Amino acid sequence: MNLSERLDNPIFRTIQSCASKLNLETYVIGGFVRDLLLNRPSKDIDFVCVGSGIELAKAVSKALNLKKEPVIFKNYGTAMISFKDQEFEFVGARKESYSRESRNPTVENGTLEDDQNRRDFTINALAIGLNNHNYGELIDPFNGVEDLRDHMIRTPLEPGVTFSDDPLRMMRAIRFASQLQFDIDGNTFGGIMDHVDRIEIVSQERITDELNKIILSLLPSYGFKLLFQSGLLKKVFPEMVDLHGVEVIRKKAHKDNFYHTLKVLDNVAEVSNDLWLRWAAILHDIAKPATKRFNDRVGWTFHGHEDKGARMVPHIFRRLKLPLNEHMKFVQKLVRLHLRPIALVKEEVTDSAVRRLLYETGEDVEELMKLCKADITSKDHNRVQKYLNNFARVEEKMIEVEKKDKVRNFQPIVTGELIMETFGVPPSRVVGDIKNEVREAILEGTIKNSEKEAIPFMIGIGERLGLVRIKDIV
Ligand code: ATP
Ligand code: MG
């Protein structure tokens, strides 16, 4: 197969000319070639040459008139060029040998064939010649093209060797299957099942990178089912495996929370590409196993799973090396509040209940509603429609109340400063108590968040508590 006509990026001709001058056999290899044949966009391009990749990168950088030198990683023998919004990586062809303790191999110079042998999957081992004698020629030693056609992930060598050498490849296999919606060849999948324990030598950051890519794929449940079936999920995210299974007591069964969670995740993925909303879906019921009870009259209950779940979020984030920042707080908030809109549906919807929810969700109310709608996984179409209509009613009410009371970005008129100045008290517990009482009254609808109503109300509370007003506020 000759693909020269499809190499429309001018970089390929530039590299051909540099490689020819330096007399270096050069190929474009890996993900770019795979994505070219799949008609998928890909930003980064990897080049391999038989010889020094660093030397080639320097020549290419010069030919492109770049002011910045290539970024060189001496330990890996690689060099990177950023050009417009693309990244080009250059490496000399290499042969690798692994020890048992580490996924970092000993490396020696090798041929193109050696280099293709060390690649993780047949579809990632494809190369295209960029030399005068083979420009555009596809070099496919492991029938990667056939696997692309069959939608199949397969290792080029014996799967046991591939996965034991670098166990991260197990996560990558499932990640590519999930991103590309491919199958994993039976023999290859067996290799993963045999080596799940080896994942222990891989750093958490790398595992989590792959997990996040699975989560961001079109149908993330597929990747999670593969993780589950292979045994990897138990190793990397046991809390999620704990959701699996159905218990029956006196003919009463609860739903399988693992498959329910995956359905919620897919539902959220249909309406949002946000990684953190997807994490909120994954974690929304995470404390169900820990809060599960059976009661003779009502059957199964999971009381408090939303609060306990929210408390579990930081532990899970820390262990998975996910960021402990506002993203975590967002996930935590959604887990904590995920039952509240449903509760609103059931009660008579009062303004004050809506105000409280708007106050607690703040800017994230739309995201919370996406999660709540995704959480309806009943197979009964009429029931789903009924719930969605109820949510629509709640949303209308939210818009109405927000328009009137503006609680989403609640800025209290009565601040701690104002309380301290008015009564001449230092920062103390009583200041917080007064502030809370005023806020409660506003959310309850007893008073408005205006100077006219909130300040006299504050003064009233202070006096009731025996404080003396030392300053008049207009
Ligand atoms: P994407 O960039 O979309 O994630 P990719 O295939 O380009 O996909 P990279 O991680 O960028 O993946 O790696 C580039 C290439 O390097 C791969 O196509 C593969 O040939 C090789 N590769 C990367 N990681 C490994 C690994 N752990 N074991 C073997 N080969 C690997
Ligand atoms: Mg890549």
Give the model's pLDDT for residue 30.
Answer: 97
The number of the ligand 1 atom at minimal distance from the alpha carbon of 125 is 20
Mean pLDDT along residues 447-453: 90
Q: How many angstroms separate the alpha carbon of residue 203 from the centre of ligand 1? A: 17
Instruction: Please give the pLDDT value at position 281.
Output: 98
Please indicate whether residue 94, judged by its CB atom, sits closer than 6 Å to ligand 1: no
> Residue 347: what pLDDT?
58
Residue-level pLDDT at 350: 84
What per-residue confidence (pLDDT) applies to 404?
87
Give yes or no for residue 156 CB within 6 A of ligand 1.
no
Site to probe by mutation for ligand 1, drawn from 27, 103, 119 as the one with most ligand atoms within 8 Å of Cβ, is: 119
CA distance 4 to 232: 41
Q: Given a cut of 90, is residue 80 above it in pLDDT? A: yes
Element (H, E) at 51: none
Question: pLDDT digit string (tens) for 226-270?
Answer: 999 999 999 999 999 999 999 999 999 999 999 999 999 999 999
pLDDT tens string 136-150: 999 999 999 999 999
Nearest CA, atom 9, ligand 1: 31
Tell which one of 27, 86, 91, 120 to mutate to probe ligand 1, the residue whose CB is within 8 A of the most ligand atoms. Answer: 120
Helix 351-361 to helix 326-337 angle (10° resolution) is 160
Interstrand relation of 106-109 and 94-97 (parallel, antiparallel or unpaired): antiparallel
Give percent above pLDDT 70 in the chain: 99
Question: Given pLDDT bands bounded at 50, 70 and 90, which one contains residue 103?
Answer: confident
| Cβ(89) – ligand 1 distance below 6 Å | no
For residues 77-102, average pLDDT: 91
Measured in Å, residue 29 CA sits from the centre of ligand 1 at: 10
Confidence tier at 98 by pLDDT (50, 70, 90): confident
CA 303 to CA 331: how far, in whole Å? 20
In the structure, what pLDDT confidence band is assigned to residue 272 with cuts at 50, 70 and 90?
Answer: very high
28-37, 125-134, 343-352: segment of lowest average pLDDT: 343-352
In the numeric block, which tokens belong to residue 456? 């006299």
How many A from CA of 271 to the centre of ligand 2?
26
Q: Find out whether the beta carbon of 31 lies less than 6 Å from any atom of ligand 1.
A: yes
**Residue whose pair of structure tokens reads 């009565």 in the numeric block:** 414
Q: What percentage of the chain exceeds 90 in pLDDT?
A: 83
Which ligand has its closest atom nearest to the C-alpha of 213?
1
Closest CA to 312 of 240, 365, 256: 240
Is the C-beta atom of 169 inside 6 A of ligand 1? yes
Nearest residue CA, atom 11 of ligand 1?
Answer: 31
Q: Is 30 in the pocket of ligand 1 (CB under 6 A)?
A: yes
* Atom 12, ligand 1: residue with shortest CA distance: 31
Q: What gap in Å lies between CA 47 and CA 89, rounded to an integer?
A: 6
Q: What is the mean pLDDT of residues 360-367?
A: 94
DSSP state of 4: G
Measured in angstroms, how far is the CA atom of residue 459 from the centroid of ligand 2?
Answer: 64
Q: In the structure, what pLDDT confidence band is assigned to residue 473 with cuts at 50, 70 and 90? A: low
Q: Are 115 and 104 in contact (CB under 8 A)?
A: no
Rounded average pLDDT over 372-376: 95
pLDDT classification of 346: cutoffs 50, 70, 90: low
Domains and CATH numbers, the chain: 4-142 (3.30.460.10), 151-236 (1.10.110.30), 416-464 (no CATH)
**Residue 329: predicted pLDDT:** 98
Ligand 2 centre to CA of 120 (Å) is 13
Task: Look up the pTM and report it.
Answer: 0.92
Q: Would the pLDDT of 100 be above 90?
A: no
Distance between CA atoms of 105 and 161, rounded to whole angstroms? 13
Find out whether the beta carbon of 179 lies less than 6 Å from any atom of ligand 1.
no
For ligand 1, whether the C-beta of 115 sits within 6 Å is no
Nearest partner of 131 among 185, 51, 218, judged by Cα: 51
Q: For all residues of the chain together, what is the average pLDDT? A: 94
186 pLDDT band (50/70/90 cuts)? very high
Beta partners for 103?
none
User: pLDDT tens for residues 279-315?
Assistant: 999 999 999 999 999 998 899 999 999 999 999 999 9
Q: In this structure, which residue's CA is closest to atom 28 in ligand 1?
A: 120
**Could you tell which of 43, 124, 153 is best to mutate to test the pocket of ligand 1, judged by most ligand atoms within 8 Å of the CB?**
124
Per-residue pLDDT reduced to its tens digit, 309-330: 999 999 999 999 999 999 999 9
What pLDDT score does 122 carry? 98
- Long-range (24+ apart) CB contacts under 8 A made by 123-126 are 123/34, 123/147, 123/148, 123/153, 123/154, 123/176, 124/30, 124/31, 124/34, 124/176, 125/29, 125/30, 125/156, 126/29, 126/30, 126/33, 126/34, 126/37
Q: Report CA(44)–ligand 1 centroid distance (Å).
A: 11
Q: Is the CB of 168 under 6 A from ligand 1?
A: yes
Atom of ligand 1 nearest to the CA of 42: 3
Residue 474 reports pLDDT greater than 60: no
> Which residue stretches of 272-339 are H helix?
275-283, 288-291, 305-320, 326-337
